[in-house]
Structure formats: C-alpha cells, structure tokens
Structure 1
Amino acid sequence: MRVGCIGLGDIARKAYLPVLGGLADVELHVQTRTPSTLTAVADGLHLPGPQRHADLESLLDAGLDAAFIHAPTEAHPRIVTQLLQAGVPTYVDKPLADDLQTCSRLVALAEQRNTSLMVGFNRRFAPGYAGCRDHPRDLIVMQKNRPGPAAGARRTVFDDFIHVVDTLRFLVPGEVTEVATRHRVREGRLEHVVLQLSGEGFTALGVMNRVAGVTEEVLEVSGQGRKRVVRDLADVIDHPDGLPTLRRRPDWVPVPRQRGIEQAVLAFLDAVRAGTVLSARDALTTHALCEDIVAPLEASAAG
C-alpha cells in the first residue's frame, strides 16, 4: 500500500509519521517543497530516494493508494482538489478549508469522484473522549484555552475552536435544535468564544479563551447523578458517588494513541483497504457551524 504524507511540519513529524512509519504494509512516500526538511525527515525514516518528493506531481506519479495532508490550511483546497481528481483517498487535517463555500465544493467533488475524503477530527477517536459516549450526558462542558496572543476570528475558529465544535457534536446525545454563541473581540482579535448547543434533555457548552494565560483542555460530562472529567485528553476522573476516582494515562501509551490520532489513521487506512468510500458530509456540518460563528463577526467588523 503506497501512502503519501504531504507537509512535514510538527503535526506530521510528532503525530502521524510515527504511526505511518510503523505499519508493515505501508510504503511511505513524503513530500514537501522545503529541501532541508525533506532530507531530514526522510533520512530519519530511512526512506530511499524514490519515496522522497519535492512536489505533488512527483508524489502522484508514484501511484498512491491513499494520502495524508498536513500542509497549512490555505494550501488544503488546492491539494485536496488534485488528489481527489486523481482518485486518491484523502485524509486532511482540520479544517478542510477555512470557509464553508470551499468546504462544500470539496465535499461535492469527493462525492462526484466517489473517492474517500476524511477530515482529521482525532478527538472522536481519543479513548478518554470516545468513552464519554457511554456516560450520561445531560450537560456537556468543554474548555480549550490558550495563553495568547489572540488572533482573527476566522483563523481562531476554523483552525482551533473547530475541535470544540466537532467534539460537542460528537458527544451530544440527541438532535441539536438550538444554537447560540457569545464572543469578545478586541482590536479585530477574537479573545474568547462560547458556543451552546441544546436539544431535548441536554445542553452542551464549548468555551475557548485565547488569552487565558494557560494551555489546557478540559471536558466534563454529567447526568443521572454521575460526572466525568477528562483533562488534556489523558486523565479521566469519575465521580460515581461524589467521590472522585482518577485513571491516569498509562506511562507507555504513546501520545498519538492517547489523542486518537493513531486510531483515526488506522480507521482511514482500513477503509481504503476494504474499498469503503468515506464521506466528509458530517464534517461539513461542523464547518458550517464554524461559518455561522464567524460570519456575523466579520459582518459586524465590516459595518
């Protein structure tokens, strides 16, 4: 199985390449336009010359069975389009693109080409979060904070808050019938944003503070007299009778597995092997919610 990895930045090197490089049936091909990075990464993986590519055309000529995209967000539409037009099943880091119109076009193209397109919402596969689907969830609260500095609304929501949006959608126990947002923007920068999703018998709150002074991620789910807290996708604290019990991540569990990246990679490749076409239509709903958050902020700024 020939698998391409496009873009060799931190996320690729730390999370995806250790997984892909360890699969016995995968012939890994890597591509970046930065010669020094290409040499360093390929040397570290002991890849021969034919598996190193300086441009996407060379990579496609290798005859890929699947591809992973870890390039900057602004490059996603061009790369995804080329891969789908070539009939290559494609996994792309979130977001698919940073505007809904482009996302919709790419999902439609994948469907027209009958080719898999998967967006890397790894938190759906993270053990700590996936396990929460078996827990009562009358109230879901997720915080994903950053120390700063704040950035523009579109970049913040599509590149970072999108994980919160998608995780809430993944965990809500029923149909969402109400959506509400609040935010604070100063000098064109989004300092905090709050999303509320509600339905019959449940409420889900997502919060991001981009000037919190700390990097943290905390998920709380509660209902029927029980509560569970997951901190930084690692430690799980249950409160079955008001008394907390802590389950820490085992020392030898690799970070890509803890964060659900390994599981997402394997699920995608298993589908490719089986000839199953994966749809990004559900991921498009997450991107649509992000656009709903961003569009009024941009309209207000323009006015």
Structure 2
Amino acid sequence: MKIAIIGLGDIAQKAYLPILTQLENIELVFCTRDPETLTRLAKQYRIKETYQDYRALTKANIDAVMIHSSTTSHPLIATYFLQQGIATFVDKPLADNAFDCEKLYELAEKQRVPIYMGFNRRFIPLFQQCYGAKNLRSLRWEKNRYNLAGELRTFIFDDFIHPLDSVNLYAKTTVDEVNIVTQFEGELLARLDIQWQQNGALLQASMNRAHGVTNERVTFNYSNSSYQFDSFVSGINWNANQQTLLQLADWTPMLASKGFVAMIDDWLNVVAQGKLDRQIMNRNLASHLFAEALCQKIGKL
C-alpha cells in the first residue's frame, strides 16, 4: 500500500511518522513545501520519493493520502484528492467551518471514496477496556491548557473539538437543549463548558485555556460504578465501595497509549476495504456541525 503524507510539521513528526515508518507493506511518499524539512525527514526515514507540490502526487500512483497541513488548507487539499478517487485521511478538524465540511462529505459520497477523520481519542486502549457497559449515566471530558486564550473559531475547531467529539457519542449536531458557559479574556475565549443529556446520559465537555497547567481528565459513570482517568496510562475504578487501580501493561508505547496506533490500523483497514462505516461518518460530520453551532451561538451572545 502506497500512502502520501502531506504536511510534515509537529503533529506528523510526533504522532504519525514514528508509527507509519515502522509498518510492513507500507510505502510512504513525503510532501511538504519546506525543502529543508523534506530533505531532513526523507533522509531520516529513508524515503525515496518526495514532492513539494501536493498536486504532483497524482503521478506517484498512491493508494491513499494523509493530510497534516494547517486547518485552513484542509478543504482545498482534501477536495483535490477526493476528486481523484483517492482515500483521504485528515487530521482533525476537517475544516474550520461546517459549510466546507458538508461539501467534502458530499464529494466523498459522490466519488464513493472514504474520507477519514483523525480522532485518536476514540481509540485510547485504557478507556476502551472500560467502555461498553450498558446504561451510561454520565461522561465528562476535561482538557485544559496554560495561558492560551484564543479566537473563538480557532479555540473551538482546532482544540475544543477534542473533548467535544469525545463526548458526542450519539452524533448530536445542534446546540438545542445544551447548557453553554463561557469565560473571555478581552475578546479571546479562555474557557468553554457545555453539557446536555442524551439517551439517558449526562454529557459534559470542558476546556479551560487559562488553567494553571496543561492536563486532561476523563470521568464516566455507570450504575454504582465510576471511573476516573488523569492520564492515558492509568486510572481508578470504584465499584461496590471498592477501589481498583487500572493501568496499561508495562512498556506500552506512548503513541499506543494515546490511541494513535489503533487509529492508524483502523485507517489502513478502511483504505483496504475502500469504505467507512456510515455510523462513523455520521459522528465525524456531527461533531463538526456541533462545533459550528457553538461558534454561531457564542458569537451571538
């Protein structure tokens, strides 16, 4: 399988290349406008085929493309490859607005080619071991950063979409019956908390970018059973008044603990099959539509 990687910045170098370059039967092609980065990484990973213009990749006979460029460039690049009938991976978000997201999904449907979203938090193995029980009572996903208040749309689409999608289990698309709390520092959004109830579960997503430290915490509850995770490698379960420590096996690689290994494996299966499950597609689009609804609602407030 031959896959092109477009954009070789921080996220590609930290999360994707260390995994993809170790996989058997995968041939990689690198593409970035930065010639110095292209030369350095091609040498480091012994990549023979490189490009500076993504449009030239159509000559490379690739099976799929993975887009890790800036958010604003996602729609243009993804559109180009979907039009060529090439399976396309986009590191979240798909775009910074719902209009472009819907256009891309319509194009993917028309071309009958999968467009895949890089939501690694759906694949965190420690959490997946604990999910699955019926009658979820509540789920709260809290992600905080230090001293990083930001512009509303960037805050929501580039960052808040992580906890938002993580709790959006039932593909909600609107802000109807959603409680929204915001805190601003001047014109910059510093904190956003939302909650709603769906299918009997209380769902909460929170992000404070004026927090004392960068961290992430996840809690969820079933009847008389509660879970708390302050990292991706360990947590606590309280059940029947007893506490149990939960943790991944020793020597679990960091990128596996953060869900990237399982997500990439899932993506490669989608490429091989040439299709993505409809339910997953609906949730992917729903989280982007929800993010747009939040931008519109908060903007009016």
* One-letter amino acid of the structure 1 residue matched with residue 132 of structure 2: D
Counterpart of 1:180 in structure 2 is 179
Question: In structure 2, what residue type is equivalent to 1:290?
Answer: A
* Distance apart, 1:170 and its partner CA: 2.7
**Deviations, residues 119-148 of structure 1 (Å, cap 9, x unaligned):** 111111111232342245202111100012
Partner of 1:19: 19
Contact kept? 1:132, 1:171, Cα under 8 Å: no
Secondary structure in structure 1 of the residue aligned to 2:178: strand
Structure 2 gap segments, 5+ residues each: none
Structure 2 CA distance for aligned equivalents of residues 19 and 86 of structure 1: 26
Match of 1:195 in 2: 194
**Contact kept in structure 1, 2:2 and 2:64, CA below 8 Å:** yes
Equivalent position of 1:241 in the other structure: 240
d(CA) in 1 for partners of 2:56, 2:190: 42
Distance 2:16 2:199 in 1: 38
Equivalent residue pairs, number: 295
2:113 aligned residue = 115
Q: Which residue of 2 aligns with 1:228?
A: 227
Which residue does 1:212 correspond to in 2? 211
8 Å CA contact 2:192, 2:207 repeated in 1: yes
Change (3 A) 1:196 1:132: farther
Q: TM-score, structure 1 length as denominator?
A: 0.92
What is the match of residue 42 of structure 1? 42
Separation in 1, partners of 2:241, 2:146: 32
CA distance 1:275–1:199, change in 2 (3 Å):
closer
CA distance in 2, matches of 1:189, 1:132: 37
Structure 2 residue matching 1:245: 3-state secondary structure? strand
1:285 counterpart residue number: 286
- Deviation string, structure 1 residues 30-60 (Cα, Å, up to 9, x no partner): 1100011101111110112xx1111102222
Instruction: Please give the root-mean-square deviation of Cα atoms over the aligned residues, in Å.
Output: 1.8
Decide whether aligned partners of structure 1 residues 102 and 177 sit closer, same or farther in structure 2, where only a CA change above 3 A counts: closer
Identity of aligned residues (%): 33
Deviation at 1:27, TM superposition (A): 0.7
| Superposition pairs of residues 127-146 of structure 1, within 5 angstroms | 127-135=125-133, 137-146=136-145
Q: CA deviation at 1:282?
A: 2.3
- Matched to 1:296, the amino acid is K
Deviation at residue 197 of structure 1 after TM alignment:
2.2
1:271-282 to structure 2, matched below 5 A, reads: 271-277=270-276, 280-282=281-283
Q: Structure 1 residues 208, 9: CA separation in 2 closer, same or farther (over 3 Å shift)?
A: same
- Matched residue, 1:298: 299
Tell me if structure 2 keeps the 8 A contact 1:15–1:255.
no
SS of 2:80's partner is: helix
Letter aligned with residue 283 of structure 2: D
Displacement of 1:79 in angstroms is 0.6
Gaps of at least 5 residues in structure 1 are none
Write the letter of the residue equivalent to 2:293. D
Distance 1:201 1:165 in 2: 18
Indicate if the aligned counterparts of 2:169 and 2:283 stay in contact, CA closer than 8 A.
Answer: no
- Cα distance per residue 1:76-119 (max 9 Å; x no partner): 01110111011110110110001011111111111111110011
| Structure 1 contact 7–32 (Cα < 8 Å) conserved | yes
Structure 1 distance, partners of 2:248, 2:37, is 32
> In 2, Cα distance between the equivalents of 1:193 and 1:160?
11
Q: Conserved in 2, the CA contact under 8 Å of 1:116 and 1:278? A: no
Query: How far apart are 1:221 and its partner, in Å?
Result: 0.6
Structure 1 position 17, deviation (Å):
1.0
Segment of structure 1 superposing worse, 146-155 or 134-143: 134-143
